[in-house]
A and B are shown apart, each in its own frame.
Chain A
Amino acid sequence: MSDFLLRALLAGLGVALVTGPLGTFVVWRRMAYFGDTLAHSALLGVALSLVLRINTTLTITVVCTVLALLLVALQAQKRLASDTLLGILAHSALSLGLITIALVEQIRIDLMGYLFGDILAVTRTDLYWIAGGGLLTLVVLALIWRPLLAMTVHEELAQVEGVRVTLMRTIFVILVAVVIAVAMKVVGILLITALLIIPAATARHFARTPEQMALMAAGFGCLAVVGGLFGSFRWNLPTGPAIVLAAALLFFSGPYWLPGRKRT
């Protein structure tokens, strides 16, 4: 196997192992649009890193985190419906990023690569980022698993029973920000949410406990990466979309269509 393909495989698997478990919470907490908004703001991070000449992944992490915290604060005010607020922020962040990139004329970047991912161009450094960021995310997620799960079921009940809900919510959105920054290279800004949502939704068909659902989501994500890479290699398809499509195929081939199957 050639080097670039091996790196692509490792990067994809690393990302899928993290987006799976984290994605289950995105699904349970109905935060798909939230993830989308953060991902859109990642382009602003790309632009800033080019202007300031700082590491791209780091800049994206910082920009996404700031936006995530801002969103949590704005949502707490409850002045606007959450999805309206997210819609406003998502598209203004994306536009701001595009304009910044356009203004910096001397820089020519591969915009498509950022939007749809460029997994075949993953470098060793990217791999280190994925390994480090991914591992950190998984460890923190494991540590806050129980309280986060409890507050996802019923926030106020959890709060009365001693969960520090604001702290947990803040940690969680930072984790999402980190994962988006790390995963961007693999599937790109516009497709990241797919890796969070689709494997988790597929796992729902089979899982009987929240933990099973998280593990299975990681597994389905890995399958999608392998399938997508294979398809991309075999038929010369764009890799990011091929991975997402593979994930979708897994979802639709699940027992979703079987009539009358009881969900337990």
Chain B
Amino acid sequence: MNDEQRPVLAEAHGVTVRYGERTILDDVHLRVHAGEIVTLIGPNGAGKSTLVRIMLGLQRPDSGMVSLAKGVTIGYVPQRLAVEPTMPLTVRRFLTLLSRHPKQRLSEVLHQVGVEERLDAAMQTLSGGELQRVLLARALLRDPDLLFLDEPVQGVDVSGQGELYELIGRLRDEHGVGILMVSHDLHLVMERTDLVFCLDQQMCCTGHPEQVKKQPAFQTLFQAGMGLAPYTHHHDGHAHHTWCRDCPQSKGKSHE
């Protein structure tokens, strides 16, 4: 796929975030094109969710900027959602909190994500995987051009994960949706991702999945993700550098 011919939907330019002494993101550059799936991977505390929040405009970077293409509709699947037990709220109502949809459409979208029968269930009775599917349904109801998915399949059973990734892949192929996704499910993600960004404060490896797979830094992470090797992430600078230094394309130089 030739990225240059597709419109850029969202862009982060030199984004830097610090919490006190600690640098969360350091001069990060990132672009999401229409019809492209970009997957952010990296150890805990690498700043993946922070980067997503910044691109959504929920948080301001200390320096750098983000821009969204004009007229782009955004869908967002947050990392977690807990509905207060004191609030009586059905799935149907949750999906129509800010916009009305005919029942036909609600059923259709819930069917797509595989929880059609839960339309009138209370939100509090959903399992973790069902909740994740309902969140995705709410994002899809907006007919988004651009999706931000923060670990969209956490808690979903293995066969369900495959189905959801397939659905995400179809959204890209059939509707040209651009997708920025945070994920830990490396092997499942790899099949459909166009571009992988390994994030650890800086972009350390970027590229197409097959390329990235060969890079040593990625292999460290990949093994950790697969549970093949114990991988501990330390917050002191030394550990970061060990992780990132192996990367041929390190130091915030990313795909531009």
Is A28 in contact with B87, judged by CB distance below 8 angstroms? yes
> In the complex, what residues of B have CB within 8 A of residue A154's CB?
78, 81
- Interface SS of B by simple majority: loop
Q: Which of A27, A146, A156, A157 contacts B86 (CB 8 A)?
A: A27
Q: How far, in angstroms, from A160 to B84 measured CA to CA in the complex?
A: 20
Q: How far, in angstroms, from A200 to B93 measured CA to CA in the complex?
A: 20
Q: Which of A150, A160, A204, A209 contacts B76 (CB 8 A)?
A: A160
> In the complex, what residues of A have CB within 8 A of residue B237's CB?
none
Least distance between B55 CB and chain A CB atoms (Å): 11
> When each residue 155-171 of chain A gets 1 if its CB lies under 8 Å from chain B and 0 otherwise, what string results?
01111111100000000
Q: Is A248 an interface residue (CB 8 A)?
A: no
Least distance between A44 CB and chain B CB atoms (Å): 31
Q: Is A263 an interface residue (CB 8 A)?
A: yes
Q: Which of B53, B57, B97 contacts A146 (CB 8 A)?
A: B97
Q: Which chain B residues (39-56) contact chain A, with CB distance < 8 Å?
A: 53, 56
> In the complex, what residues of B have CB within 8 A of residue A158's CB?
97-98
Q: How far, in angstroms, from A201 to B74 measured CA to CA in the complex?
A: 36
Size class of the B contact interface (CB-based, 8 Å): 20 to 34
Is B74 in contact with A28, judged by CB distance below 8 angstroms? no
Least distance between B78 CB and chain A CB atoms (Å): 6
Q: Which chain B residues (79-110) contact chain A, with CB distance < 8 Å?
A: 81, 83-90, 93-94, 97-98
Is B124 in contact with A263, judged by CB distance below 8 angstroms? yes
Is A264 in contact with B86, judged by CB distance below 8 angstroms? no
Find the residue from B78, B97, B142, B148 having the highest chain A CB count within 10 A: B97
Is A210 in contact with B78, judged by CB distance below 8 angstroms? no
Is B83 in contact with A153, judged by CB distance below 8 angstroms? yes
> In the complex, what residues of B have CB within 8 A of residue A263's CB?
85, 88, 122, 124
Size class of the A contact interface (CB-based, 8 Å): 20 to 34
Q: Which chain B residues (105-140) contact chain A, with CB distance < 8 Å?
A: 122, 124-125, 138
Beyond A263-B124, A264-B122, whether A163 also contacts B98 by CB under 8 A is: yes
Is B56 in contact with A160, judged by CB distance below 8 angstroms? yes
> When each residue 49-76 of chain B gets 1 if its CB lies under 8 Å from chain A and 0 otherwise, what string results?
0000100111000000000000000101
Q: Is A123 an interface residue (CB 8 A)?
A: no
Q: How far, in angstroms, from A104 to B57 measured CA to CA in the complex?
A: 51
> In the complex, what residues of B have CB within 8 A of residue A30's CB?
84
* B contact set with A: CB distance below 8 Å: 53, 56-58, 74, 76, 78, 81, 83-90, 93-94, 97-98, 122, 124-125, 138, 142, 148
A–B complex contacts, Cβ < 8 Å, 13 sampled: A153-B83, A156-B76, A158-B97, A158-B98, A160-B57, A160-B148, A162-B98, A200-B86, A209-B93, A210-B87, A210-B88, A212-B88, A263-B88
Q: A156-B56, A209-B89 are in contact. List 9 more A-B contacts (CB 8 A).
A: A28-B87, A146-B98, A147-B98, A154-B78, A154-B81, A156-B76, A161-B76, A204-B86, A213-B87
